[in-house]
Amino acid sequence: MDRHIINQNTPLLDALARLNALSGEVMTLLAVNDDGKMTGTLTDGDVRRNLLKGVSLESPVSAAMFRDFCWLESGNVDIVRLRSIRERGIRLIPLLDNRRRIVRILDTDVTRTVLPVSAVLMAGGKGERLRPLTLDRPKPLLKVGGKPIIDYNIEALAAVGIDDVTVTTNYLADMIHEHFSTPVAGITVKCVREPAPLGTIGSLGLVPHRKDRVTLLMNSDLLTTVSFEDMYLKHLSENADITIAAIPYNISVPYAILKTEGTEVKEMEEKPTYSYYANAGIYMINNSMLEGLDGTERMDAPDFIESALANGRKVVYFPINGTWIDIGNPSDFRHACELMRHHHDLSI
């Protein structure tokens, strides 16, 4: 971070040397005063324009810096504004404290956003349909494209600024705990072992939650390009309690279907196709919904969602537009390996 920070009193000639040293990176400097307060930004274009106006190279950075810069409040990032700044092509975004001192510099090519979300990845299943591959290795650690399946999801979370990540384990748990003994994608992943299989939702009772935040819950053995940012913004805009990621699912009937009243045929539809949305195994849940979970009882997502609906909670869906592979059987595994042979990076 310090490579991009410069005192506003530094001569422009020295600033040009600093900019030149950033070649291959974002060639922007963030100017601060002697108290550490950010006061502007400086690019080589800013220097060039001001030299043409008669500013000398001995002048301080403050004589040429851009003062109407974009910034965001650290700890309370406005995700919509961040997206707007990013879409304007601004790559470095400073996150400032209440005294306008730099807390973090966000490079949106590396971390697109900073979602105020905790994530829980479920990795406790036995992967029985993938045997013998899973006899001595848990399914999330099977390698696709030379990388464990679960690591693609950790990297996707890191790319949207989610660094509070917990993996719940059961089957061959020690191997997963060992895998995450070192950070992945810069994230120190916490592992929690289930005392017994707790289902899709039950293991959330083992993880502490901030009441005012949202938890992203997902299967750890998915390969997907779902936009977590779009899903989060949908969750907020709908004022939802639960948002379910969904995939289109079409059913084609190979027969003519009769539409009837009693025994009378009113219409006949030849080989119709019906379109539905299917549960993709990714959820955003308001943490206030999780207070009744204590980590001792099994709870699966359908029961949890049906209970929420029965209690008048708002449940919405978010359609996935892109890749979604649930690696549940050998055919899915082969398909995922073939996909990643040609696309070495999932752009989330």
pLDDT at position 322: 84
Residue ranges matching CATH 3.10.580.10 in the chain: 2-107
pLDDT in tens, 220-236: 888 898 999 999 999 99
pLDDT at position 73: 94
Residues of the chain with pLDDT under 70: 1, 133, 342-348
Q: How many CB atoms lie within 10 A of CB 290?
A: 18
pLDDT in tens, 28-46: 999 999 999 999 999 999 9
Angle between helices 44-52 and 12-21 (to 10 degrees): 150
Are residues 20 and 3 in contact, defined by beta-carbon separation less than 8 angstroms? no
pLDDT at position 347: 47
pLDDT at position 1: 60
Residue ranges matching CATH 3.90.550.10 in the chain: 117-342
DSSP reduced 3-state for 142: coil
pLDDT at position 2: 84
Pick the CATH number of 117-342 from 3.40.50.10860, 3.40.50.2300, 3.90.550.10, 2.102.10.10: 3.90.550.10
d(CA 141, CA 123): 9
Q: Looking at domain 2-107, what is its CATH homologous superfamily?
A: CBS-domain (3.10.580.10)
- Bridge partners, residue 59, by sequence: none
pLDDT at position 344: 53
